[in-house]
Amino acid sequence: MAKNDHFVALSECHFMNPGTMAEISYYPDVQRWWGSVNGVMKAWAGRDLTSEDSEWPHPIASELIKYMDEAAVDVCFCLREGMMDISGQTVAMSTNAFMMQQIEPYPERMYLEAMVGPILRRGMDHALWELEHLVTECNAKLCKVYQPEDIAPLDDKRMWPFYEKACELDIALTVHTGMSYVVPQPSCHTHPSTLDRVLLDFPELKIIAYHMAWPHTEELIGLAGKHQNLYLSLSGVVGWYERAPYRGYHAIGTALQWVDHSRLVMGLDLPFDDTKRVVDWVRNLQIPEELQQKYGYPEITDEMRAGILGTNLARLAKIEPTKRVK
């Protein structure tokens, strides 16, 4: 039986503007994009979002809060969806302003996870201004860098001013790592090796690497052993770990051999009705004794679970890890 007394925080909760989604539905790349999303959802969530009888919650705040309450999730960090390339750079699926309007009715439950990209494509001056504005004036607690939709990889030297600004503002960056899951975006921009040069030049920069950089998870884990401000996020891929638990045991067990448990964090990046499924899996997480013996993985303690579920992310986002929901 899952315990509900731990503080729980989830980053990467995506909202989409329904009006915008309807307006761009006729673009050919929109349908190709949904086909890609469906590919990853088959693995992560075991569902086909493109089938005619598929039902899933609308990606807006009033829907998310229901599933947060059901799963006893205290805090979410809510994030716009960009993907301007699927409409020929016409419009983003949602904006930071839309996100702030959505989360306003839920103070202390929903926080802004800013995203100001594609940073190089839109122009560094614009990205730097918006990042500073959202952090200093709009209470953004995290900032995502989604490099698949930009023109160069994470370690392109043209990105250095952005990392400098993040250090100046002392805001943690949440970074898509591993393959790009959707068309028309390349995977080479977010290979975990691209984080190495970034963190060599910016050792004080806090980076939360999303999706455990699948399929390059072990390379990311090794980099986290090297770089003490690199954090490992289960966002999205935790849905796969719950459905295929031995995959999760090996990934998390390996990570805990290289880094302290304080550097593993939760995230969602799934349909909102998957929230309870994945949170309860972490609430009950234990690596089987056989794997502990054969692979040297540690036993998962309640302290580890508490950190992964929320206190580690709260520390990075600089919020109080107090229970908001029972």
Residue 10 bridge partners (DSSP): 76
Longest dimension (CA), the chain: 55
The predicted pLDDT at position 48 comes to: 85
Residues 72-120 have pLDDT tens digits of: 999 999 999 999 999 999 999 999 999 999 999 999 999 999 999 999 9
Domain ranges for the chain, please list them: 9-317
- Per residue in 277-322, pLDDT (tens digit) is 999 999 999 999 999 999 999 999 999 999 999 999 999 999 999 9
Cβ 234 vs Cβ 265: under 8 Å? yes
Kindly give the residue spans of alpha helices, DSSP state H, lying in 205-244.
217-226, 237-243
CATH topology (fold) of 9-317: TIM Barrel (3.20.20)
3-state secondary structure of 25: coil
For helices 245-258 and 217-226, the axis angle rounded to 10 degrees is: 20
Task: Look at residue 124 in the predicted model and tell me its pLDDT.
Answer: 98
Alpha helices by DSSP H, listed for 118-187, are 119-122, 124-137, 160-169
What's the order of all strands across the beta sheet hosting 172-176?
9-15, 75-80, 110-115, 142-145, 172-176, 207-210, 230-233, 264-265
Name the 3-class secondary structure at 100.
helix
Per DSSP bridges, beta strands 230-233 and 75-80 are unpaired
From residue 257, how far is each of 2, 91, 218, 261 by CA, in Å? 25, 43, 11, 9
Residues 6+ apart with CB under 8 A from 75: 7, 8, 9, 10, 108, 109, 110, 111, 310, 314, 319, 324
Question: Average pLDDT of 213-242?
Answer: 98
CA angle, residues 68, 69, 71, in degrees to nearest 5: 65
pLDDT, residue 50, reads 74
**pLDDT value at position 325?**
94
Contact 163, 204 (CB under 8 A): no
pTM over 0.85: yes
Query: Mean pLDDT over residues 200-212, rounded?
Result: 98
Tell me the C-alpha distance between 183 and 310, whole Å.
32
pLDDT value for 23 = 96
Residue 205 pLDDT exceeds 70: yes
pLDDT the model gives residue 87: 95
Provide the 3-class DSSP secondary structure of residue 75.
Answer: strand
The predicted model gives 138-146 an average pLDDT of 98
The CA-atom distances, in angstroms, between 256 and each of 11, 72, 214, 241, 299 are 21, 26, 17, 16, 10
Q: How confident is the model at residue 258 (pLDDT cuts 50, 70, 90)?
A: very high
Residue 1 has pLDDT above 50, yes or no: no
> Comparing 5-14, 26-35, 163-172, which segment has the lowest mean pLDDT?
26-35
For 144-200, write each residue's pLDDT tens digit. Answer: 999 999 999 999 999 999 999 999 999 999 999 999 999 999 999 999 999 999 999
Name the average pLDDT for the chain: 96
Give the separation between CA 291 and CA 268, rounded to whole angstroms: 26
Gyration radius of the chain's alpha carbons: 18
Which DSSP letter does residue 231 get? Answer: E
